[in-house]
Structure 1
Amino acid sequence: MTPTPASSVLPADHPLATPSELPYGLPDFSAVTDAQLAEAVRAGMAAQRAEVEQILGAATAPTFENTVRAFELSGQLLRRSAAMFFTLVSADGTDARQGLAEELSPELAAHEDALLLDPRLAERVAAIDGAGLTGEDARLLEVLRRRLDLAGAGLGEAERAELGRINTELAGLTAAYTRRLVADTAERAVLVTDRERLAGLSEDDLASAAAAAREAGHGGADGEGRDEAGPWLLTLSLFTSQPWLASLEDESLRREVFEASVGRGAAGEHETLSTAMEVVRLRLRKARLLGSASWAEHALKDRAAPSTTAVEELLATMAPRAMANARTDAATASAHAGRVGGAVAPWDWPALSAAYARERFAVDAGALRPHFELDRVLHAGVFAAATALYGITFEERPELAGRLYRPGIRVFEVRDEDGAGVGLFVADLFARSTKSGGAWMHTVRDAADALDERPVVFNTMNVPAPAPGRPALLTLDEATTLFHEFGHALHGLLAKGEYVSLSGTHVPRDVVEFPSQVNEVWLREPALLAEYARHVETGEPLPAGTLDRLEAADLWGEGYRTVEYLGATLVDWAWHSLTEDTVEAATADPAAFERRVLTEAGIDPELVPPRYGTGYFKHIFGNDYAAGYYSYIWAEVLDADAVEWFREHGGMTRQNGRRFAEELLSRGETRDLLESYRAFRGRDAELEPLLRRRGLVEAAA
């Protein structure tokens, strides 16, 4: 195959007519308009079709080199331009970009189908004798064959045509769901004009809320406003339970914030439920075409979990035990607050839980924030742990940050112990109204020797931006998320291999969270904590005994947190386990179906609502976690077991990091991840460490 030069399908002066000349191929976001990006994506599709046509039209017999490797290396213009475009859609998704995404997503789905469902490709790949292949070449052939099978390449012509129509429609619907959710989340933010209602919030919280109000156009007559005069805007995170709820003393305001959160997508201009239900029905139709009874059954064909029964057994083991713990914790917190009858509303739980923890364990999460200044946590915590374990170092490159899409985004060059370049790490950490909720990692370049390419990895979060001149302070949860997302970044940065399709985080969905969850453990490494958790004004470390108190308090509220997660997992699994006999009744009343699923699993949604509701569950209706939200707990089985190995072998040492990197982080999909885990651990993972961590060993079943 002869690659199609971008300059042959784009104007010579187009900013993407040639690959970026910036270090590591960092895309120059500052040099391209939305219209030019859309033009490049469409040109990239045309270029890849021409490249693949060369492969499929060749008169020579199919070989690994002229078919599998050639197909893997095709489409580089599309890959570069699509990575840029969807970075912007997620992190700075203006109305115009969201609209373009709704246009382009169906086109991209149709393009992928045109390639994968072409019977000539399946025939050529099937004809290749893989007996002489070894290593990554053998693995790439195996992965491509599985990909073609799951895509439906073996279907008849009529079925392939129907599948293509479904995929195109699904792409448009998931883009529409995301656009509406982003808009509704911004619209439902709670505006407060009476400062007394904000009692309990810190001065930094108030300043952030005032800044958010100004950015949203709620300032004074001159558009400026003053922090002390308000108004204040309580923006919403992606979760059901909002961070504000732990601090606000006004119960009516807590309820208002909570109801704004759970009401997202239910009605109005940005309603998402009808879109979600159409997605559910279409996914089932697709699964049936591909020979499965449900989408969950189809999805597990490309996962580490061996069967739907295995997933359901894990959830059934945990849900009733966790709910029992949640009820006990709710009763304890209610009694501590002097409430008659023990009733705890979901908007009250965060405040009651925090109050109990302050008294019982002498742990005040709010009081810890001045010790978690973002820049220090990043450098003396996250980066320092990576240096200790993996020998890599970080140098900020402010001149490259100027090539990105918003001020305040930071770029770091990563080098190994010998000083050789590893890649770039990009940190886009502050919330903005055009950014999707939550936190995530993605790559715009990958470790791939076949392309002579090094990784460019993004971590994106939604930390409230501080007021001008003030430091950014993290909650303990936000600090944990920073370590978590950087665990994903390490999976991309430390990858080694020949092909993009086998590199870094290109692993089964239900194990991709494993390395990131392991990285969370270093947040509390005593020597590291002593360096990064210092008071932002005095430089003093955490008060003596804080770590011991945090660890003593670990299981407090764990039942509630586990049920929040399991509730969302059960909702996802239930929607995608529907069959032809059950789908119409379920989708006719999504709220009733969601309640029934939770109560039948032993969960009380009036006490512990799921982490996400159907109307704002972007993971499964806007991203690719459908029938996959169980992945976090499935991966945590590996994580909890691996953390025990680290503890048994001395913790955060270079020797331990070298082993973890060599056997797991660097491997990606170059071999089966569970095989990599066995090479690292010496055996399969065991469930017991997870149950102990979650406080479920002694809980009543």
Structure 2
Amino acid sequence: MKTRVLAPIALAIALAGCQSDNASQVQAPLAAEQNINMDNPFFSDFTTPYGIPPFEKIKKSHYLPAFEHGITLSRNEINAIANNSAAPTFENTVEAMEKAGDFLNTVSNVFYGLTGSMSDAEMRAINKEISPKLSALGDDISLNPALFQRVKAVYQQKDQLNLRADQKTLLETTYKGFIRGGANLNEADKNTLRQLNEKLSKLSLKFGENLLHETNSFEMVIDNKADLDGLPEDIIAAAAVTATERGHDGKWVFTTHRPSKNPFLTYSTNRKLRETIYKGYTERGNNDDEYDNKKIASELASLRYQKAKLLGYKTHANFVLDNATAKTPENVFKLLDKVWPAALKQAKLEAADMQKMIDAEGGNFELAAWDWWYYAEKIRKARYDLDAAATKPYFSLESTLKGVFFTAEKLWGVTFKERSDLPKYHEDVRTFEVYDKDGSYVGIFMTDHFVRESKRGGAWMSSFRKQYRMYGEDVTPIIYNVLNYPRPVGDNPTLLTFDQASTLFHEFGHAIQGLLSDGYYRSQTGTALPRDYVEYPSQVMENWMTEPEVLSNFARHYQTGEVIPMELVEKIQAAGKFNQGFATTEYLAAALLDMNWHTLETAELQDAAKFEKDIISKIGLIDTIAPRYRTGYFSHIFAGGYSSGYYGYLWSNTYDADTWLAFKENGIFDHTTAELYRKHVLETGGKEDPAMMYRRFRGQDPKVEPLLERRGLTGK
């Protein structure tokens, strides 16, 4: 799954509106402070170009003092608002809260940005120490009775205040945030909530630490070259580099990182080794040892239920979805149940096709989960004459990045200028200045493409600073994409599979929303959207990659410069619905596993292995497919922000499929459609209800039929 994961910044920052930073605001509140370590870059303005964090000057020892100071400042700022003797107004209460916490926000954006891509034992220790303190600050804010009474007083006047649409939204979300944060609880229940939040914070961190260890510790060492049969040369070369890095000179090492695991499962002719690496991946966090995540997952589900009940919700899913476009678990299950039967039926047909091929080859074995990728690729070749390896020479990382930029320029006139002299946190990072169609400066875009052990798996977008104007000046965004592509070997460039190239377009879809954001309050800009809507712009972006007009611009052979042949393009498009039974089913199984964990109506701890097995049996998932994420390594929901929200990719996909119909009907680069999409989707962020903003763009609500048709699940 092409994931976008945001830093787990405490509720304090959300309530204070600190979902981006503003370096120009850092210095002012520090003037009266004494004994500040001025060697710490966080204690002064960032004087770097564009206010990019001075990464080369920031030491790990700087984080804890900066966090501690930021927490103190934030608490003082919030207390000043709560104890203001003036009558509460929108400006001196709600807007003041939005402007509080700049310093803490700056530190958080840098630290949590790097814990995802530059993690080590020291960074994890800092995270473990500071996380409970941030959680406590969040509770101190959300459970502050004087502050809540001021917000409530403003909220009760909302119809007489003549507020702008974004101000109304800010007031609504701030008030609702207090209710959801426990402001209406009695003192005993408030103390219980604090304890629950602290436990949840610690357990989530432990889940993520365990998974990182499990992922990085697995290695499959191959010392017989014959066991590499079927693998492309670039994959073999990358495995040799990994072996050297891990102290196995002259051998080949494969890991559970996707750039290593996926090609092995797809191309290796060695069935036993395919089973080894597959089980190495699917058993992460699922072993009865000190890194076992099963009990942690069960405890998290129990604590979340207890918190939801305390706050007046039936289940954790009800609590989460109250802030989503889906609104209720029933609506989520309705969509999942509508797609599941068609997806499962198609997956069974695909499995039958593979078994026929196995039998025809004299395989004399039953199809297993570790065979699926291998035989899917063989059938793809036979049915569509499409060899995934044959497409890779046309999708070098460099050319695909150019294709992304070409698409953005054709749609909105946005251009990118690379800079090699700007601060960056790792040598792999590339930095671009971004300019609008009128030549005006938009912001900074950073990319971090290559896999490394300090980086968690997956792909995501976030920001070191978001766009906003609430201080009377245009604050420009600093956006970054992080992916996990294989590092180039020798003089050869990194060549991407079709799916990897699609991921680049996907994550850029998030990035362009962050870059083109046009809002006043920072808590509302960029990707500040419900989980089940935020994936929509990124999914839309993927569509352009398969269009001949786009492919002909960037998909060039890395050696000859030859444009990808139209015959190959037609094969890619013809194969677009291939294996969608598998892809949709493994995703839906994970989404259903998430929803079942979080619609539990009991605090009783579950036997996680049995619970997962029962859910899989209940939905009828076939043995040859595992959920995309099993409980032990489902970090999206147990260590990230997607609990009761993994369904959101499919929910967003309904918006995506309906949007793409508009572009196909009017022209994929139609100026009017592109500008409407930019105005009502990309620029708006969370200023108003997303469903309403979508209707302004499209003139209707999305329907599920285009999604089913796209995935080949309509039976047509």
- Is contact 1:358-1:364 (8 Å) kept? yes
1:522 aligns with 2:540: no
Q: Where do 1:610-621 residues align within 5 Å? A: 610-621=627-638
- Is contact 1:184-1:264 (8 Å) kept? yes
**Distance in 1 (alpha carbons) for counterparts of 2:612 and 2:109:** 35
**Distance in 2 (alpha carbons) for counterparts of 1:341 and 1:654:** 57
> TM-score, normalization: structure 1?
0.94
- How big is the shift at 1:654? 3.4
* Identity within the alignment, %: 36
Aligned to 1:357: 380
Q: Which one of 69, 84, 89 corresponds to residue 95 of structure 2?
A: 69
1:151 aligns with 2:181: yes
Aligned to 1:226: none
- Is contact 2:662-2:673 (8 Å) kept? no
Aligned to 1:227: none
Aligned residues: 681
Aligned to 2:3: none
- How big is the shift at 1:613? 0.7
Aligned to 1:141: 171
Q: Which one of 120, 124, 129 corresponds to residue 146 of structure 2?
A: 120
Aligned to 2:295: 274
Give the gaps of 5 or more residues in structure 2: 1-15, 17-24
Aligned to 2:64: 38
1:345 aligns with 2:368: yes
Partner-residue secondary structure (3-state), 1:668: coil
Aligned to 1:541: 563
- The one-letter amino acid paired with 1:661 is R
**Distance in 2 (alpha carbons) for counterparts of 1:241 and 1:13:** 44
Aligned to 1:666: 683
- How big is the shift at 1:691? 1.1
Q: Judging changes above 3 Å, is the alpha-carbon distance between structure 1 residues 89 and 594 closer, same or farther for their aligned structure 2 residues?
A: same
Q: Judging changes above 3 Å, is the alpha-carbon distance between structure 1 residues 624 and 154 closer, same or farther for their aligned structure 2 residues?
A: same
Q: Which one of 606, 616, 620 corresponds to residue 598 of structure 1?
A: 616
1:307 aligns with 2:337: no
- Is contact 2:465-2:477 (8 Å) kept? yes
- Is contact 1:331-1:342 (8 Å) kept? no
1:679 aligns with 2:696: yes
**Distance in 1 (alpha carbons) for counterparts of 2:148 and 2:630:** 40
Partner-residue secondary structure (3-state), 1:449: coil
**Distance in 2 (alpha carbons) for counterparts of 1:650 and 1:35:** 53
Aligned to 1:5: 29
1:77-134 CA-to-partner distances (Å, cap 9, x unmatched) read 1000011111111101111111211111111111111112111121101101222212
- Is contact 1:240-1:261 (8 Å) kept? no
Q: Which one of 218, 227, 244 corresponds to residue 247 of structure 2?
A: 218
Q: Judging changes above 3 Å, is the alpha-carbon distance between structure 1 residues 102 and 435 closer, same or farther for their aligned structure 2 residues?
A: same
**Distance in 2 (alpha carbons) for counterparts of 1:104 and 1:512:** 28
Q: Where do 1:319-398 residues align within 5 Å? A: 319-337=340-358, 338=360, 343-379=366-402, 381-398=403-420
Q: Judging changes above 3 Å, is the alpha-carbon distance between structure 1 residues 615 and 569 closer, same or farther for their aligned structure 2 residues?
A: same
Q: Which one of 23, 28, 31 corresponds to residue 54 of structure 2?
A: 28
Q: Where do 1:113-512 residues align within 5 Å? A: 113-128=139-154, 129-130=157-158, 131=160, 132-215=162-245, 217-220=246-249, 230-237=250-257, 242-267=262-287, 268-337=289-358, 338=360, 343-379=366-402, 381-400=403-422, 403-451=423-471, 452=473, 453-512=475-534
**Distance in 1 (alpha carbons) for counterparts of 2:169 and 2:334:** 31
1:330-371 CA-to-partner distances (Å, cap 9, x unmatched) read 111221232578831111110101011101101111111111
Aligned to 2:625: 608
Aligned to 1:18: 44
**Distance in 1 (alpha carbons) for counterparts of 2:520 and 2:99:** 11
- The one-letter amino acid paired with 1:416 is D
**Distance in 2 (alpha carbons) for counterparts of 1:635 and 1:399:** 38
- How big is the shift at 1:545? 1.4
**Distance in 2 (alpha carbons) for counterparts of 1:394 and 1:146:** 39
Partner-residue secondary structure (3-state), 1:242: helix
- The one-letter amino acid paired with 1:527 is E
**Distance in 1 (alpha carbons) for counterparts of 2:651 and 2:258:** 22
The CA RMSD measured in Å over matched residues stands at: 1.8
Moved more, 556-565 or 96-105: 96-105
- How big is the shift at 1:238? 6.3
- How big is the shift at 1:20? 1.4
Q: Judging changes above 3 Å, is the alpha-carbon distance between structure 1 residues 369 and 626 closer, same or farther for their aligned structure 2 residues?
A: same
- How big is the shift at 1:501? 0.9
**Distance in 2 (alpha carbons) for counterparts of 1:282 and 1:367:** 49
- How big is the shift at 1:262? 0.9
**Distance in 2 (alpha carbons) for counterparts of 1:165 and 1:588:** 21
> TM-score, normalization: structure 2?
0.93
**Distance in 1 (alpha carbons) for counterparts of 2:180 and 2:351:** 45
Give the gaps of 5 or more residues in structure 1: 221-229
- How big is the shift at 1:242? 3.1
